[in-house]
């Protein structure tokens, strides 16, 4: 359902941004229908593993099993299906669990994980999750959101502004916020070309706008598309779940590996060496830059063959 809406309404965004002709729009709409049939609806709800995760790797355990003189670090996960871990086959593969367990080991302190992420959530719906978190503010929040924003019919700039508003609310409550920005929808193989290039251009534009907004509001942005797209493109069978749309356990592990150091930096607990600056655009994304020319060529070709 999520993928179907995203693919269908990506066409609206493409038509607005690229000036698609009616024939080109119809052609891409046919491609979106094919991709929806291949991806299909989610087979199940995402797994949950909320609770206290110990530095030994054990967890989740009930809070009453933690010694009274030990105060767990509170961490919450907000966002969409990628934040919730849809596609993971085991609880330990969930991105929130991987980050919580890594954080517990790094700070040598239990981490209490609470997940508020909702499958299908868009940025304009994130405020409800933030409301829930602020009832008892945690020390740290991880947010992954953006892939469903194409269904909101809002401009990229507005989606990023809404995300910044929620990051600001959390930061003002003394919560450390790490945001995994929108993934590259161009890495999803069931989306055929040239629709995949259109989806990629939109998602990368959103990710860049999210990064600027998050950092301006005091949060830490991790450009998932720029850092992970080459891996997902090179090893799709390993990094995608059976639906070929959401990450697999291996895909979430790759994401957690780059989110964890930034989370440690956010709470002042990173013990490793200096991290290199994150790229603003990956080599894989750079190779797809001439998207506008592809769309223009499609318009000309379909116009030439129109009866």
Task: Give me the active site residues, please.
Answer: 81, 243, 246
For residue 117, the 8-state DSSP code is: -
Judged by DSSP in three states, 229 sits in helix
Integer CA distances (angstroms), 206 to 65, 80, 149, 300, in order: 43, 15, 9, 28
Q: Which residues are bridge partners to 143 per DSSP?
A: 78, 179
Q: Cα separation of 158 and 173, whole Å?
A: 23
Contacts (Cβ under 8 Å, ≥6 apart) of 191: 7, 31, 32, 35, 185, 199
Contacts (Cβ under 8 Å, ≥6 apart) of 223: 181, 207, 211, 278, 279, 280
Instruction: Using DSSP bridges, classify how beta strands 176-180 and 140-144 pair: parallel, antiparallel or unpaired.
Output: parallel
Q: What burial letters (b/e) apply to 101-113, b meaning 16+ CB within 10 Å?
A: bbbbbbbeebbbb
């Amino acid at each position: 359902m999520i993928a179907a809406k995203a693919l269908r309404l990506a066409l609206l965004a493409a038509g607005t941004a690229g000036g698609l002709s009616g024939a080109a729009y119809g052609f891409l709409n046919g491609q979106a229908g094919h991709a929806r049939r291949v991806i299909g609806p989610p087979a199940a709800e995402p797994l949950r593993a909320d609770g206290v995760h110990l530095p030994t790797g054990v967890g989740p355990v009930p809070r009453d099993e933690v010694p009274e003189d030990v105060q767990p670090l509170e961490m919450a996960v907000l966002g969409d299906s990628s934040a919730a871990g849809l596609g993971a086959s085991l609880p330990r593969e969930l991105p929130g669990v991987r980050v919580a367990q890594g954080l517990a080991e790094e700070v040598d302190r239990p981490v209490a994980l609470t997940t508020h992420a909702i499958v299908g959530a868009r940025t304009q719906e994130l405020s409800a999750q933030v409301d829930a978190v602020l009832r008892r503010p945690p020390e740290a929040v991880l947010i992954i959101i953006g892939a469903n924003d194409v269904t909101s019919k809002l401009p990229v700039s507005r989606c990023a502004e809404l995300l910044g508003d929620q990051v600001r609310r959390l930061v003002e409550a003394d919560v450390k916020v790490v945001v995994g920005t929108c993934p590259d929808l161009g890495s999803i193989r069931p989306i055929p070309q040239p629709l995949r290039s259109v989806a990629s251009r939109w998602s990368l534009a959103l990710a860049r706008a999210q990064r600027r907004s998050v950092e301006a509001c005091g949060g830490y942005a991790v450009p998932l598309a720029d850092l992970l797209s080459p891996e997902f493109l090179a090893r799709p069978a390993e990094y995608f779940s059976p639906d070929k749309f959401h990450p697999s356990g291996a895909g979430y592990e790759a994401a957690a590996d780059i989110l964890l150091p930034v989370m440690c930096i956010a709470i002042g607990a990173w013990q490793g060496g200096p991290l290199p600056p994150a790229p603003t655009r990956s080599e894989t994304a750079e190779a797809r830059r001439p998207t506008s020319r592809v769309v223009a060529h499609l318009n000309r070709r379909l116009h030439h063959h129109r009866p």
